[in-house]
Structure 1
Amino acid sequence: MSAVRNGASWIVSFVPLLSLGLLTWPVFTVLAVRARSWPLAGAALAYLGLLVLEIWAIESDPVRDTVFDVCLFGLMVGGTAHAIAVRRRWFRTAPVAVDLDVVSAEYAVVAAGTITVDTTQTVESAPAQRVLDEIDQLVEESMRDGEPRIGYDYDDPTYPDCPNPHCEESWHGLAITERMELMRDYGEVDVDYDYHADDSLVLCPGSAFAGEWPTPPRIREPEHPVVQVDPAPEPDPMAEAAARADRLWTALARPALALVVTSWLLALVSMFLAPTQWRWLTVLVGAVAPVCVGWLYGRRAELFPAGYVRVHVLARPAVVFAVGLVVCAGWLPFRWARNPPLEAADGYFALIVACALACVGHAVVQIGRVLPVGAAETDPKAHGENLVVLGFGWMMFGLPSTLLFGWVTSYWAYQPSAVWAAVAINALLVAALFVEAGTIKIITKARDDGDLPMIVFFTIGAGALLVWSSLRIAATVFQS
């Protein structure tokens, strides 16, 4: 498969997972039609049955809850694994049935030297075929006694060279011209070339030439386009230092962002599960930050010079404290999951509090990056603009997609009000990014006239949405 088709097949394979199993049976139905496969059609029918069973098991009941979980797992995880296993069949051409009896009969007719037109008439082989048969017979007779002693087989070491001392070719009868040599250099023959009309310089008059061998004229170089290759620029020490600093601070901010994104996804998934089922998924929230910190510690020798992390991080003790705060905040929802009595609203507020602490740690890291400690490796103005763009991205894409997803899936969700937890987490992240950007612009004085009013306006909007979402969570009675 081409790169485009290969990528498309991977995207289609994850449709069952991304659609929460709702589109598993349509995916396999389309694939069964394209591949003309009865087994895939049976799989599509089985996934449709699982979806119907899952809809039946939505009612709150211990037995039905188990059935719902099994069906959801089969549609999402099982459907995705199955789609990955058969993904190459999306762009495979369907096999064409061939009647071997008909092919054998036609081959027998051709071998007999006649072509059947109908049941009463036959036509003898074409004259061209008879000529080819005669040529084959002559070749077989000439090769009956072995390879001829005279003749060039491209590897015969006894084949003579051209006697011209200025020619490096093997024996040749025709003269070699400059245009012929240029076509060899280019690697292709000019379709309009005519040997009899070739009036270019003669490089070798032919191996059968009689007389004194003339000195060949100077051969012009092939007129290939000359590409001017600029010498590699000298590495810029400032640019290398800025890139290295960007890798370090991005890695230090990654635990907080990973914790927030994981909590956001967990809040969306909890729409389809009871609290007794999804509360144990909070282990992922607690583990994601230590994993990111461990990745940075394990790769420090490959990404940075010796002692670079220690010098730049320990010079800012607040950053070390912020990273530790993020690691500890991730385990707050897990502590709630371990301590019944279980209240879904308490669990969602535990997620929001953990994300709030993670946003505080993220802000300390981003603001500490521009503090005047040692050599300046970060452009404060560019760093503030990057945070503004990141906040706009989450506000323009994260919040609308969360609300649209909650509205569409509320018809099938077990507790649709859980979407407000995802909205609150998203609004909290947007507000934190705008606050970080505004603080950096104020500290470094790298701001334009309209920056702060715009940042304040969007921060107030995200904060209002956060308060509204929290009130909706507090007023909702979630299913147990």
Structure 2
Amino acid sequence: MSTVLRGSSWVVSFVPLLSIGFLTWALFTVLAVRARSWPVAGAALGYLGLLALALWTSRTHETVFDISLFLLMVGGTAHAVLVRHLWFRRVRRRPASIEVVEAEAGEVDYAVVSAGGVAPEPVVAEHVTVEEPVRRLLDEIDELVEQSLRDGEPQVGYDYDDPTYPDCPNPHCDEPWHGLAITTRMERMRTYGEVDVDYDYRDDASPVLCPGSAFEGEWEQPSHEMTADLWESERAVPPPVPEPDPMVAVRARADTLWMAIARPAVLIAVVSWLLAMVSMFLAPAQWRWLTVVVGVLAPLWAGWLYGREKRLFPDGYARKRLRARRSALAAVVLMVWAGWLPMRWASEPPLDPADGYFALVIACAVACLGHAVVQIGRVRPVAGASLDDMAETDPKAHGENLVVLGFGWMLLGLPITLLFGWILGYLAYQPGAMWAAVAVNAVLVLALFIESGAVKIITKTRDDGDLPIIVFLTIGVGALLVWSLLRIGATQFQP
């Protein structure tokens, strides 16, 4: 499979997870038709029945509904990954039976061909077809090789790893039988594994190591000077050290700065996710005061970055970049303010638990908005910037990095949250809090996908398959986010 097809097979394998299990049966139905596989068709029918069971028990038996949904999402995703190679398997068709019309000149004499003669070209009828053409061609090749090897040395002069092939009679030569003389220059080219494009055997005047196996006369041992020169040429020559690219250090420094500026948004999302998971085992009156940690995190990180600014960057580097992109400063203020939004849950009178979880999701969304302002603003041209300043960010690499980050959070965060949240939900005090953690993770993944698409569009560095994949993943994660918010609103949390 090509790289595009291999990547597409991974993308479609996560349709069960991204569609919350509702499209699992459709995915396996399409795969069964394409691969012509009855087992896959049976699996599609089973997933369809499992979906019907989940819909039927959604309001009456929540345990059965959760188990069915888990099998459709996680089990269907694992199954799709295992059989993803079937998407691009070619269905082989048996070739039709065909007849052979022999040439009027008769069979080709392979003995004449192997001896150096020229075989007459067969006269083939207008419609010449072969039954099992591959097998017959292989048989003819085997017969030709066997007949050509019966008389000793092959015409091409190579032994084909034949253990009975004779060695060179020269006692000072370790090579098999060879007709041409071996020179020092030839041996040196073989040692290095490269052939000089200007080499001509007729003009080779280098010392001769072996005059050839057909040489008639007394064999002479190569002189000490020839062997010493050849030994010197066989020494391992270290490859030249490439010149360091000065832009590598410049771009690494820029990545460090802008990732540090946008990191509070990621920290707010991670802490909100942890808070939602912890709240599964706490009453609302206990966990609502933990929202202070979300608000304190962003200013603490900003203070840490300000204190280490002189150690991480040259003097005036960060100040110059932030003054050129004042939107980044506004984004930092936005992220710090977003961290304090969940504190509304700790206000008096206390709000409904669902409102507290919605506050966590909103805080994460506002912080991710600041993250997007920083990452998209990096590729925006700045008036008065030098060529070195404008080349600090590689637009194509920046867009790909955002896609990889979003894909990583989607593959690691969402399945872990759904799996462990569903398992721990049977032991937790607030099992519905799992959906708040799912929603927070989905917001972060959506932000990274949207940022990557915006960067690729603004900088015109997108490939043909970039935007369709990003849009597909964004729709899937967006559907999961909507589902999570609906579950939070419909859940009756314990007081």
The corresponding residue for 1:361 is 370
- Alignment of 1:411 with 2:426, yes or no, is yes
Whether 2:490 is the aligned partner of 1:475: answer yes
1:143 maps to what in 2?
none
CA distances 1:147-199 after superposition (whole Å, capped 9, x unpaired): xxxxxxxxxxxxxxxxxxxxxxxxxxxxxxxxxxxxxxxxxxxxxxxxxxxxx
Q: Counterparts of 1:227 and 1:307 in 2: how far apart (Å)?
A: 47
Specify the code of the residue in structure 1 equivalent to 2:366: L
1:379 to 379, 382, 394: 394
Aligned residue for 1:193?
A: none
**2:476 pairs with 1:461:** yes
Q: In structure 2, what is the Cα distance between the partners aligned to 1:226 and 1:408?
A: 62
- Match of 2:301? 292
Task: Please point out which of 315, 319, 335 is paired with 1:310.
Answer: 319
Per-residue deviation, 1:386? 0.8
CA distance in 2, matches of 1:339, 1:445: 50
**Larger RCO (CA under 8 A, 6+ residues apart):** 2
Deviation at 1:428, TM superposition (A): 0.9
**Aligned partners of 2:237, 2:333: CA distance in 1, in Å?**
53
Instruction: State how 1:178-193 maps to structure 2 within 5 Å.
Output: none
CA distance in structure 1 between the aligned counterparts of 2:461 and 2:359, rounded to whole angstroms? 36
Please say if 1:435 is aligned against 2:450.
Answer: yes
AA aligned to 1:418 is: A
| Partner Cα separation in structure 2 for residue 422 and residue 382 of structure 1 | 30
Structure 2: distance between partners of 1:233 and 1:441: 31
What's the offset of the Cα at 1:235?
Answer: 4.5
Please report how far the alpha carbon of residue 256 of structure 1 lies from its aligned counterpart in structure 2 after TM superposition.
0.6
Residue type of the alignment partner of 1:241: V
Deviations 1:109-132 (A, max 9, x none): xxxxxxxxxxxxxxxxxxxxxxxx
C-alpha distance in structure 1 between counterparts of 2:361 and 2:482, whole Å: 11
- In the alignment, is residue 345 of structure 1 matched against residue 354 of structure 2? yes
2:162 is matched with none
Question: Normalised by the size of structure 2, how large is the TM-score?
Answer: 0.50
Q: Distance in 1 between matches of 2:254 and 2:398?
A: 12
CA-based RMSD: 2.1
What is the CA deviation profile of residues 407-450 of structure 1, one whole-angstrom value per residue up to 9, with x for unaligned ones? 11111100100100001111111111110000000000000111
Instruction: State the AA in 2 paired with 1:401.
Output: I
2:405 to 368, 377, 390: 390
Q: Distance in 2 between matches of 1:243 and 1:288?
A: 25
CA distance in 2, matches of 1:448, 1:229: 38
- Provide the C-alpha distance between the structure 2 equivalents of 1:327 and 1:369, rounded to a whole number of angstroms: 20
Inter-partner Cα distance in structure 1 for 2:236 and 2:274: 52
Query: How far apart are the structure 2 equivalents of 1:276 and 1:229?
Result: 68
Change (3 A) 1:236 1:414: same
- Using the alignment, how far apart are the partners of 1:303 and 1:231 within structure 2? 32
- 1:131-280 mapped onto 2 (5 Å cutoff): 235-280=244-289
Stretches of structure 1 lacking an aligned partner (at least 5 in a row) = 1-224
CA distance, structure 2, for counterparts of residue 392 and residue 233 of structure 1: 33
1:409 to 1:305, Cα distance in 2 relative to 1, 3 A: same
Once residues 448 and 227 of structure 1 are traced to their aligned partners in structure 2, the CA distance between those partners, rounded to angstroms, is: 42
Gaps of 5+ in 2: 1-233
Q: Deviations over 1:29-87 (max 9, x none)?
A: xxxxxxxxxxxxxxxxxxxxxxxxxxxxxxxxxxxxxxxxxxxxxxxxxxxxxxxxxxx
Question: Which of the residues 317, 323, 326 maps onto 2:335?
Answer: 326
- Matched to 1:387, the amino acid is L
> SS at the partner of 2:308?
helix
Equivalent residue letter for 1:321: A
Letter in 2 for 1:445: K
Provide the residue aligned with 2:205 in structure 1. Answer: none
State the match for 1:283 in structure 2. 292
Hey, what's the Cα distance between the residues in 2 that align with 1:318 and 1:336?
29
Return the letter of the residue paired with 1:382.
A
Letter aligned with residue 343 of structure 1: D
For residues 357 and 384 of structure 1, what CA distance do their matches in structure 2 show?
21
Q: Distance in 2 between matches of 1:234 and 1:386?
A: 25
1:342 deviates by 3.1
Q: What is the CA–CA distance in structure 2 between the aligned matches of 1:379 and 1:339, rounded to whole Å? A: 49
Q: Counterpart of 1:302 in 2: which secondary structure?
A: helix
> 1:263 aligns to what SS in structure 2?
helix
Q: CA–CA distance in 1 between the matches of 2:297 and 2:238?
A: 47
Displacement after TM superposition at 1:370 (Å): 1.1
Separation of aligned partners in 1, 2:471 and 2:253: 32
SS of equivalent residue, structure 1 residue 479: coil
Deviation, structure 1 residue 265: 0.8
Q: How many residues align?
A: 259
Query: What secondary structure, in the 3-state scheme, does the structure 2 residue paired with 1:339 have?
Result: coil
- What TM-score, normalized by structure 1, do the two folds share? 0.52
- The amino acid of 2:410's aligned partner reads M
Tell me the amino acid that sits aligned with residue 343 of structure 2: F
Q: Which residue of 2 aligns with 1:211?
A: none
Structure 2 counterpart SS, 1:448: coil
SS of 1:242 mapped into structure 2: helix
Counterpart selection for 1:444 from 459, 479, 482: 459
Identity %: 69
Q: Residue 237 of structure 1: CA displacement?
A: 2.4
